[in-house]
Amino acid sequence: MHVTKYNASGNDFIIFHDDKKRDRHALAQALCQRQSGVGADGMVVLVPHPEYDFEWEFYNSDGSEATMCGNATRAVAHYAIEHGISINSNAEFLTGAGVIRVKVNGDYAVTDMLEPKILEKNIEEFGRNWWLIDTGVPHLVTYVKNIENFDLKEARELREKYDANVNLYFVNNEEMQVRTYERGVEDETLACGTGIMASFVRAYSEGEAKETMPVYPKSGEELYVEYDNSSYKFAGKVTKTFEAEVTLDIAKYMY
């Protein structure tokens, strides 16, 4: 089978398109495995849709499905335009969380994110106040003075207790920094778009962030978030890493 590997700010994805929806949980596990497969944080399949450019199937590396992934929206839009699935540098597609629109200019992509939902503001854990925010998937968010202090054990406990991704953020007048522990990957990732947006939503709501801010995830790549006329935008570069023919017994992974 033919696949394309994309990198979006440290989040990496295997992307391909197919003619119909299928159960690909086992295939995602096999392809995302970094030793025996291609290796990725997630797998995205573009399938036809009667109203939009396409619909996506999104799988985490453990084979579980996710409704939304901010970094993947940018990578998938680039892929769709390159393959003629979307035209005129604009992609409009259906995710499990709703319709996403992305504008692509070269290797730079800007996503109109879904409207965030603040679910809870008064969660006290490990001596810090957390907000639970849904930006397509649920995220626990807290402010820290030192972004280097990221306790994986605490993050795993919170992920299990609240069934949510876990984010620490630092913000000053010039920039934001965000670190995220992601469900489905079950570890800290180099970047998480929905986590970055959830962190920005809290920071902006509390008057800590400006309407437009550069954001740096663990990968160190520069991303941008913006609140403009009730719309949340998420922007940054994407890279097509490679295309490859993968030899697998597909029947073994499809059912």
pLDDT tens digits along 189-233: 999 999 999 999 999 999 999 999 999 999 999 999 999 888 999
Q: Give the confidence band of 141 by pLDDT, cuts at 50, 70, 90.
A: very high
Q: Are strands 42-47 and 54-60 parallel, antiparallel or unpaired?
A: antiparallel
Give residue 95's identity as a one-letter amino acid code: T
Active-site pick, 192, 209, 215, 235: 192
pTM of model > 0.75: yes
Active-site pick, 66, 69, 132, 185: 69
Clarify whether 69 is annotated catalytic.
yes
CA neighbor of 78 nearest in space, from 102, 53, 100: 102
Q: Are strands 42-47 and 11-17 parallel, antiparallel or unpaired?
A: parallel
CA neighbor of 66 nearest in space, from 151, 186, 167: 186
Position 254 scores a pLDDT of 65
Above 90 in pLDDT, residue 63? yes
Greatest distance between any 2 Cα atoms in the chain: 54
Q: Let me know: does 179 contact 196? Beta carbons within 8 Å.
A: no
Q: Let me know: does 167 contact 135? Beta carbons within 8 Å.
A: no
Q: Give the confidence band of 173 by pLDDT, cuts at 50, 70, 90.
A: confident
